[in-house]
A and B are shown apart, each in its own frame.
Chain A
């Protein structure tokens, strides 16, 4: 995402065809087309939303294998390596296209980022509000207790137990999130997204702790 891009109005434009001019042959190109139908020149990227960018349905239940397959296919089409022998302008457009692809993949691959992005797309307030403050007491208490347990864990098996708890929690939470999004219950989805953020953080910290323990062992 670059600073000069405006908010994605592309989806709003879908259904209406508007015509732009190809920078290379000066002919007409339908908006959103990546290559000129007449002279085949690569066009500057618009600002498509992440799901459309990777040709995926906008849902929480993303098929990761499909996502990756689409990503590879599109990278082959747009990667700067395919434009290394072309003009500076074409190289720049290719760079911007692939930068967007990488940004979209990063967002859609991670359950937390994907959930946050979907919430934002559907007009729900960001999880935890703009300040990302945690005001769910249940999560707070749980986080404090587990962190304490993690800090005290001094054998790999203690840490593994915490990792197991975190990973089981991630699995449950993801299932619940999927249901919440399917039901259109954005309040529940928002709360679950916050919980999922915490669980991934815990999993991450536990893994780090495990590494430190295995190193000193």
Chain B
């Protein structure tokens, strides 16, 4: 199948204005600046704590990107749910994870395996809904940290892969298989992370341990103990997990982490209240787990609109602001210090669950709620304005690059049948039925948008037949990299969106591409292999997905 990709809204004036200044933003000039630290490595999930997914390396440029060649391919062997990881690279060693929590240390210049660690997992992992996959590992303090499918944090020796400690944090049997699909993150000597379960009848938590000993440090209850927010016992089954990695600001000892939707997803009859702290961005003190501030983006969420995505930090009028995409199709811009709202702008083309969101107060304008016995169409669909595949920000262009999808769903709300909630894998969607449908604006599709992160002003956009599920990488070489669901790896001009390079990897991309340098040579690396439940669900709107092959291969590219 050939995906049609149409370039549109190319602004010639903007292009001419900023193209020349771009390459001057080289690492040497910008040393010490936020986003340019440790340029040769990819030391954490989003590379830097501002969640830019920006590499300051500029050996690979618009002019020579066509010369990229495969340097090495690493195959873990098990393709279940593909590769969803963002690899970590430190001093020439890549640390990554594949199906069933297999952890790998790989020579980042050759692709040779240095060590492999396969944990002995509880049998319950065969029953969980979010099986097999993990989004990465965290490296620091001489250790590699893993969040497991059976609800543990594990620390490995960074040099040998030998297990140092393992701490059981969740009770998978009674918490519907609550597991760590995202890598736990470091906040000084604290290691923290949340679980899956936003769509399950649990009471979500964020767990923290001492990173050196594994000893539990604190637990944060995402479900606020407040009967106004959660009438009756609704909070006990209110969902509210924090299933994506947070970020950490060491200067202020602040963790920024987003939370999931409230459960049951579409049936809100028993939880009339704002349902704090679901669908919120939280600022938590790393040392204590104390809440500093929160911004709830979707009060009484009734559409499965998580706020779990990355907290991008950029400057506005000389101060740091957080730019935060919500699944409901809006981007919230808020003061990093206290969460005060700076702006809210619409990201999705098709939004109908509200007329809008007040950009000054954050109030939902005329929300339309799901109802029992009524078919209602909601845009975006339950997978969101975008899936969890992260965007990237390039300080050279000042643009935020993010994928998007335009798909809606028809929903009839319904009380969950207790009979159906017996399995560990059971979801609490609160529906009678659900169906993916095309948006009012036409065919369902995906996009890569290049936008001003503060206002949403569109610089360029690329349309795809199938919504890409890969995270985005941008580099100081003036490039944007991503991959589509069919396995095509793509390199674009960061200024114009012009496709400059592509490579057919054979299976779709779902992980996070990264860039790093070893012995003076820049590499661009793509985890490939289609996986996660999202493609399966999207097959309802995109029948072509049924024919797409699975896979699992990390492919590294470099110049000749």
Q: Do A and B bind each other?
A: no
